[in-house]
Copies of this chain bind each other. A is one copy, B any other.
């Protein structure tokens, strides 16, 4: 974190959290804040753009900058824009894993397309049940590119794969494409998610990219309808 606008965004986020800036009118305008942080106005605005896209701030030309009212969205149980893995999303909870299968294979044609692979570049295939506070939570069916997510072991899979990617491999996630849908339960769902054959399932299918644009993960995550939902904050900054 050496970029000025990220640091300023962080600081502003902190001030909103702490109630230094409250619902209603905000700081002494962009110019004053730019001066306070010792940056140009464009850099300050870029920091604000981040918070605006997160839905924390909104701005009215000719009026000023305001803190958005926090609603059910901020207390939501899961943000779609979050790649750091379940361990980070649920810091208060005990997150465990049960490994249902773990092997290495050559990619299918679909995987070759989605992950930009040749047919001889292997992928890990992992089926894993995430357990939160002793309750089955998510059934993940995941493929990782072996050349990128090197040397996966059962221990890593049992803990947090994303923590391994970030800390040990020092890779940075840059984004994802996701498809969210509802579905009828499969045999595997019924077996592992404490579902019946009529429990609706929420599925998230995704391709995750590194910051350099290279895809490294394809996965489908399934949960019982009453265990999880997804929120999206989708603001176009002015």
Contacts and interface: CB of A to CB of B under 8 A. Distances in A.
A31 interface: no
A130 to B, nearest CB: 17
A68 B175 CA distance: 13
Given A66-B213, A69-B113, A209-B235, A202 B177 contact: no
B175 A236 contact: yes
11 contacts: A55-B175, A58-B174, A72-B114, A81-B234, A174-B235, A177-B231, A178-B231, A178-B234, A179-B232, A180-B231, A182-B200
A39 to B, nearest CB: 15
A104 B222 CA distance: 39
A233 interface: yes
A2 interface: no
A238 B177 contact: no
B174 A236 contact: yes
Contacts of A177: 55, 71, 73, 231-234
A231 B179 contact: yes
A4 interface: no
B225 A181 contact: yes
A209 B73 CA distance: 14
A113 B212 CA distance: 41
A180 B230 CA distance: 5
Given A73-B177, A113-B71, A207-B73, A182 B232 contact: no
Interface string A77-115: 000110000000000000000000000000000000110
Contacts of A76: 179
